[in-house]
Amino acid sequence: ASLRAAAADAAAEATRLAALVDRVRARVAAEVPDVEVVGDPVLRLPHLVTFSCLYVDGEALLHALDRRGFAVSSGSSCTSSTLRPSHVLEAMGVLSHGNVRISLHRETTEADVERFLAELPGIVAELRAEAGVVGL
């Protein structure tokens, strides 16, 4: 009975997180210029989303997001403990530098996602301006 309850809870949680990831995928692509959302929109893990912002240093973006209270990662999870570019992302033909990986979890709320989506375009624009990339 416990296993059935846990499995049912896991399925419901996966559905909830997948909807939040769908929101992130759509809004990041629509609201941040020159961004590439990585991976299949359907055949994917329900709690992960990765995207790359052109003309933005990935580490600078991670630090800027961290300063605003967002804990995100870069690269792919299989190379998270190294400084090497992700061979998985390279094999997929996407940018292997300057990307952000978001892992949603049980405590992630819609409000958390909305705050992230509200702040991300400005953060990216600020970093691009600091790098001398304007007019995108």
Residues 87-108 pLDDT 10s: 555 555 555 566 899 999 999 9
Instruction: Give 77's pLDDT tier (boundaries 50, 70, 90).
Output: very low
3-state SS, residue 53:
strand
* Higher pLDDT pick, 94 / 28: 28
Cβ-contact 73, 80 below 8 angstroms: yes
User: What pLDDT is recorded for position 134?
Assistant: 82
Cβ neighbors of 53 (< 8 A, separation 6 or more) are 32, 34, 35, 61, 98, 99, 100, 124
51-62 CB burial, b ≥16 within 10 A, e <16: bbbeebebeebb
* Residue 78 annotated among the catalytic residues of the structure: yes
Catalytic-labelled residue, pool 10, 30, 78, 136: 78
Range with the lowest mean pLDDT among 3-12, 15-24, 69-78, 103-112?
A: 69-78
**Beta strands across the sheet bearing 99-103:** 35-38, 48-53, 99-103
**Does position 79 have pLDDT exceeding 50, yes or no?**
no
